[in-house]
């Protein structure tokens, strides 16, 4: 069946204006990434996974993940943890911060998370996984969704037995990344499983994994019955991939456009994370933006050696002076940061 990528769809009452979802990625999905994703056509964006224990303890850095700008929405905030009561409490905070959707992570394969019984481990503990979803769904009035892998071990089909149970427990949508936790990011995403899962549940299924082109997106949508595709790594430093997938505009951006988007990204990230954290955080993005044959390798290496973000910005503008004008036009079209930031409700700070 042909699916129009621009068709709206819904998760519960939340209307999503395109069939493209920007993946949650730890260490990547900052506000600048999500807002940029929305500008380039993602219908839904997602925060990186947020620790429910961190929220419960009022950890300042964790609370920072709940800072949502109006132009990111619709937006899902993803939480992880294994204790139903703590997850429910965290979900209520996410709702208070005015996220449109609470997403639960049952897919993270990283040891630091799985050893606490959270992430993909819960695919091996379906009763507990269901209790988490039930507790979260009864704590909030926004839709609750789950992102999962196929299972823990290679070849596992656990998602097909666990998935329908999660829907019964209250999940309004499931996103499947059909690799095992053991696989991490090796091999390929087996979207035959996505098709099987979509046939078993009556809520929208989102297909995640290896969606890197318009052709792939269309094939996966047409052959799986998924409601939408999720794009992760292909969009790192490359929002133009989203536009290409949506509209088939395969035109490479000019050097000026690349530099303008990167500088905007840097400025927003400094505002969100502060200069010190942003300096280290941004280094990987230089390679992602300037790679793909857009700039010489030596230039990328040079940028990562510069001690301050201001120096990186100057060096970028020296390499593509016309970017100044593209950036000015871009900034004019954006809402001012201060106007769009929603204040965190007092309750999130525990009443002050």
Ligand X SMILES: Cc1cc2nc3c(=O)[nH]c(=O)nc-3n(C[C@H](O)[C@H](O)[C@H](O)COP(=O)(O)O)c2cc1C
Instruction: Work out whether 78 is an interface residue with ligand X (CB under 6 A).
Output: yes
Return d(Cα 40, Cα 134) in angstroms, integer.
34
Instruction: Work out whether 244 is an interface residue with ligand X (CB under 6 A).
Output: no
Instruction: Work out whether 177 is an interface residue with ligand X (CB under 6 A).
Output: yes
CB 103 within 8 A of CB 76: yes
Residue 317 beta carbon to ligand X: minimum distance, rounded to whole angstroms: 28
CB 151 within 8 A of CB 180: yes
Give the footprint of ligand X on residues 120-149 (CB under 6 A). Answer: 147
* Catalytic residue list contains 108: yes
Residue 50 beta carbon to ligand X: minimum distance, rounded to whole angstroms: 9
Partner residues linked to 148 by β-bridges:
106, 176
* Angle value at C-alpha 42, between 274 and 130, nearest 5 degrees: 85
Residue closer to ligand X by CB (options 112, 305) is 112
Choice from 27, 280, 293, 352 touching ligand X (CB under 6 A): 27
Give the footprint of ligand X on residues 264-283 (CB under 6 A). Answer: none
CB 43 within 8 A of CB 74: yes
* Count of other CB atoms within 10 angstroms of residue 92: 18
Partner residues linked to 206 by β-bridges:
175, 228
For ligand X, what does the binding mask look like between residues 43 and 62, x meaning CB under 6 A?
A: -----xx-------------
* Angle value at C-alpha 234, between 208 and 44, nearest 5 degrees: 55
Catalytically annotated residue among 46, 52, 108, 159? 108
Choice from 162, 205, 231, 246 touching ligand X (CB under 6 A): 231
Choice from 25, 85, 319, 342 touching ligand X (CB under 6 A): 25
Residue 148 beta carbon to ligand X: minimum distance, rounded to whole angstroms: 9
Residue 150 beta carbon to ligand X: minimum distance, rounded to whole angstroms: 11
* Count of other CB atoms within 10 angstroms of residue 298: 8
* Count of other CB atoms within 10 angstroms of residue 175: 28
Nearest to ligand X by Cβ — which residue? 232
Return d(Cα 274, Cα 268) in angstroms, integer.
10
Give the footprint of ligand X on residues 188-227 (CB under 6 A). Answer: 208-211
Binding residues for ligand X, rule: CB under 6 A, are 23-28, 48-49, 78, 105, 107-108, 147, 177, 208-211, 231-234
> Active-site residues: which are they?
108
């Amino acid at each position: 069946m042909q699916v129009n990528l621009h068709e709206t769809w819904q998760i519960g009452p939340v209307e999503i204006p395109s069939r493209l979802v920007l993946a949650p990625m730890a260490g990547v999905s900052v506000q600048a990434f999500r807002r940029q994703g929305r500008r380039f056509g993602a219908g839904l964006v997602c925060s990186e996974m947020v620790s429910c224990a961190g929220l419960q303890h009022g950890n300042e850095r964790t609370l920072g993940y709940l800072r949502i700008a109006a132009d990111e929405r619709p937006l899902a905030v993803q939480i992880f943890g294994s204790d139903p009561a703590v997850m429910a409490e965290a979900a209520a905070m996410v709702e208070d911060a005015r996220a449109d959707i609470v997403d639960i992570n049952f897919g993270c394969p990283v040891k630091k998370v799985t050893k606490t019984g959270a992430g993909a481990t819960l695919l091996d503990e379906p009763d507990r996984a269901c209790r988490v979803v039930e507790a979260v769904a009864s704590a909030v009035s926004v839709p609750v969704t789950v992102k999962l892998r196929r299972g823990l071990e290679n070849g596992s089909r656990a998602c097909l037995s666990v998935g329908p149970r999660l829907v019964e427990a209250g999940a309004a949508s499931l996103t499947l990344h059909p690799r095992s936790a053991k696989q991490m990011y090796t091999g390929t995403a087996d979207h035959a499983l996505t098709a099987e899962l979509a046939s078993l549940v009556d809520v929208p299924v989102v297909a995640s994994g290896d969606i890197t082109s318009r052709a792939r997106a269309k094939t996966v949508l047409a052959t799986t019955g998924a409601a939408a595709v999720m794009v992760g790594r292909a969009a790192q430093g490359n929002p133009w991939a989203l536009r290409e997938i949506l509209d088939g505009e395969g035109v490479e951006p000019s050097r000026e456009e690349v530099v303008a988007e990167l500088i905007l990204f840097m400025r927003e990230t400094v505002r969100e994370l502060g200069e010190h954290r942003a300096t280290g955080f941004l280094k990987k993005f230089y390679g992602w933006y300037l790679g793909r044959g857009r700039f010489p390798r030596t230039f990328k290496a040079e940028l990562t050696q510069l001690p301050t973000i201001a120096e990186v910005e100057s060096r970028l503008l020296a390499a593509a002076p016309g970017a100044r004008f593209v950036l000015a036009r871009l900034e004019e079209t954006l809402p001012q940061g201060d106007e769009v930031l929603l204040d965190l409700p007092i309750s999130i700070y525990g009443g002050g």
